[in-house]
Amino acid sequence: MMLRTRLALAFALFAAVPLAAALWPVSHALSGALSTEHAARLDGAARALDGELARLAREAGTAVDELARSADAEALARELGTGALAPADAAPRAREWMEARGLDVLAVAEPDGRVVSSGHLPGRAGDVDAEVAALLATPPSRAAPHRVMRAGPDGVEPVLALVAWAPVPGDPLRVAGGLALGPERAARLAALTGGAIAIRAPDGALLADAAAPGSPASGGAPDLADRLSARLGALGTPVRSLALGPPDAPVATVEVRLASAGLARARLVVVATFLAALVAGVLAAAAVGAFLASRVTRPVEALRAAALRVAAGDLGARVEARATGEVAELVRAFNAMTADLAASRARLAQAERVAAWREVARRLAHEIKNPLTPIAMSVETLRDAHARARPDFGEIFDEGTRAIGEEVRRLKRIVDEFSRFARLPAPERTPVAPDELVQSVLALFPSAPAGVVVAREVEAGLPAVLADRDQVVQVLLNLVRNALDAMPGGGTLRVAARGEGSAVAFSVSDTGPGVRPEDRPRVFEPYFTTKEGGTGLGLAIAQRIAEEHGGTLELRSAPGEGATFTLTLPAVS
Ligand code: ADP
């Protein structure tokens, strides 16, 4: 990762921690306050619900008590007792009383539960009602919740009612009645609490429900806002429920639920604000970090790029970036160092060139001296024979001049090769396909020498090389000639070309005797030859051409395993 990116990230991280530490408690406290407020409203609703249910129970108890003590009840008891009223005629009474006193269920019954008259279930008159019997078995007290069967428009159905009973004074008759917690009362409770009311049987079945406007759907599954609130935590249950009936065997539960969508939204706004503030703070810190870092890292990056160029051999690399303080000193020192390095490399190259030419001159003098001795000796012999007027002068003359001619021709070859070496023109480089170069070289040997097998291995899709076509062909030709010279008895000549990074490597291998380890460092020296009549300039010229192309020429050889010369040239990028 770049230094600039690392610094920007570090700034962002350093900003994130204190920002989160400062913002989190605030948003947490805000969110907690919202939750507490909601819980308090829910508790208030539950208290209102409890109070209203107690009031309804009192109302039912009072109505039943008053009815049992009324003149109507006393008259009914009397008329039934004297036989003035037939039981069938008594049946409709309860309905009239029930409607007159605002009760939802009412039965007049004997102590064993036999119904004399029923307002909510008229068909029961004359029968023993198990529910009534069970109720009358309990002491007469405040109204309690009971599930009662009631005749409705859709037939007989259960309803939850707050039921009380009272005896008719001086008579065995009992009056039992109460107020139903049906849909209308659920609606009243919903309006009172401002929430949604669900009345449920102990098994969870819904008996009645209603919702105040704007409250969540009553009794249904929690809505999205509820679920969100629950997920965000700290809201507590969005529902309060009251159990009705004895604690060990509740008859029903009444649930109240308040709208929590607003709360969830408020909490979301708090959390979103927290996150937005955190992200904005971190981004701002990262931007400041990146800006500050760029001032420091720009010269450092320029230094790094220049150092890489120097490592790749470009001593002309200079750092131009503006910098201050120690970095500026570093930039100045770097530029001075590369300038020194370039100057000393130039001096070194100059010295090497002088030394190399001196060596070439020494060897050339040696090469020229070699034929001069036989020439001088031949001339001496001829002069001597002529002075003595030797009879075989003709023969001596013939032999002497032939030897002189041979040595002169050798001298001429040496001088020709030398002038070629010395006057090697600068390469004119153009893109050339590697395949075409190999093809041109092999075309000069239309038929392989006896016993030699030629293998051509050129990789497909190689990039073109930037080269002086004639000079590279001359190098490859020289390598092929040397390889053939090394295999007079036959063998395999392999000419290959393959990609090597951003370069192409041409190799020429033979299966000859190879190069002796002690000769290996010398084969590229001018005038090093092991061949009768060789000039020893071929590989020296080849290596110079390779270097002037920005490439290399290398030898790999093990005695007895042939030799491989590899010419590597840069490819066109
Ligand atoms: P020349 O061919 O005139 O001798 P070169 O410079 O081409 O000059 O080669 C120098 C020497 O390198 C050769 O005399 C020979 O000893 C050695 N040499 C070159 N190529 C091979 C090869 N393929 N196998 C063995 N020796 C080789």
Estimate to the nearest angstrom the gap between the alpha carbon of 417 and the chain centroid.
66
Ligand 1 contact via 568 beta carbon (within 6 Å)? no
Tell whether the model's pLDDT for residue 233 goes beyond 70: no
For residue 29, the one-letter residue type is A
The label of the residue with tokens 């590989």 reads 539
SS3 207: strand
CA proximity to 169, closest of 313, 73, 41: 73
Integer Cα distance of 238 and 138 in angstroms: 37
Per-residue CA distances from 443 to 304, 310, 473, 482 (Å):
49, 42, 11, 17
Integer Cα distance of 441 and 479 in angstroms: 10
Q: Is the pTM of this model over 0.75?
A: no
Tell whether the model's pLDDT for residue 109 goes beyond 60: yes
407's enclosing H/E stretch is helix 393-422
First CA to last CA distance, the chain: 27
> What are the backbone dihedrals phi and psi of residue 255, each rounded to the nearest 5 degrees, phi first?
-105, 140
308-328: pLDDT as tens digits: 988 888 888 888 878 788 888
Cα 478 to averaged position of ligand 1 atoms, centre (Å): 9
The predicted structure's pLDDT at residue 227? 55
Task: Assign 3-class secondary structure to 327-353.
Answer: HHHHHHHHHHHHHHHHHHHHHHHHHHH
Q: Out of 417, 523, 532, 567, give the residue to mutate to test ligand 1, the one with the largest number of ligand atoms within 8 Å of its CB.
A: 523
514-542: pLDDT as tens digits: 999 999 989 998 888 999 878 888 999 89
145-181: pLDDT as tens digits: 998 999 988 889 888 999 999 999 988 999 999 999 9
Nearest ligand 1 atom to the CA of 541 is 6
Cα 423 to averaged position of ligand 1 atoms, centre (Å): 22
Q: What is the mean pLDDT of the chain?
A: 87
Burial class (CB in 10 A: 0-12, 13-18, 19+), 490: middle
CB contact at 8 A, 216 and 257: yes
Nearest-CA residue for ligand 1 atom 17 is 523
Cα 512 to averaged position of ligand 1 atoms, centre (Å): 12
Ligand 1 contact via 515 beta carbon (within 6 Å)? yes
Nearest ligand 1 atom to the CA of 524 is 6
Estimate to the nearest angstrom the gap between the alpha carbon of 445 and the chain centroid.
59
554-570: pLDDT as tens digits: 999 877 889 999 999 99
The predicted structure's pLDDT at residue 291? 86
The predicted structure's pLDDT at residue 161? 93
Tell whether the model's pLDDT for residue 72 goes beyond 60: yes
Cα 534 to averaged position of ligand 1 atoms, centre (Å): 8
Ligand 1 contact via 529 beta carbon (within 6 Å)? yes
CA proximity to 112, closest of 190, 30, 172: 172
Ligand 1 contact via 474 beta carbon (within 6 Å)? no
Per-residue CA distances from 445 to 437, 489, 531 (Å):
14, 17, 21
With a CB cutoff of 8 Å and minimum separation 6, the contacts of 44 are none
38-70: pLDDT as tens digits: 888 889 999 999 999 999 999 999 999 999 999
Ligand 1 contact via 531 beta carbon (within 6 Å)? yes
Strands across the sheet with 105-109, in order? 115-118, 105-109, 174-180, 155-167, 144-152
Tell whether the model's pLDDT for residue 216 goes beyond 70: no
With a CB cutoff of 8 Å and minimum separation 6, the contacts of 266 are 34
Point out which residues pair with 500 in neighbouring strands: 503
Token pair of 458, please?
């050129």
CB contact at 8 A, 53 and 143: no
Q: What average pLDDT does the segment 424-452 reach?
A: 89
The label of the residue with tokens 């408020």 reads 266
Ligand 1 contact via 27 beta carbon (within 6 Å)? no
Tell whether the model's pLDDT for residue 356 goes beyond 80: no
Q: Out of 476, 539, 543, give the residue to mutate to test ligand 1, the one with the largest number of ligand atoms within 8 Å of its CB.
A: 539
455-514: pLDDT as tens digits: 999 999 999 999 999 899 999 999 999 999 999 999 999 999 999 999 999 999 999 999
The predicted structure's pLDDT at residue 236? 44
The predicted structure's pLDDT at residue 448? 82
Integer Cα distance of 237 and 102 in angstroms: 36
R_g over Cα of the chain: 59
Tally of residues, the chain? 573
SS3 150: strand
278-306: pLDDT as tens digits: 899 999 988 988 888 777 778 888 888 99
> What are the backbone dihedrals phi and psi of residue 402, each rounded to the nearest 5 degrees, phi first?
-65, -45
The predicted structure's pLDDT at residue 219? 42
Percent of the chain whose predicted confidence (pLDDT) is above 70:
95
Ligand 1 contact via 536 beta carbon (within 6 Å)? yes
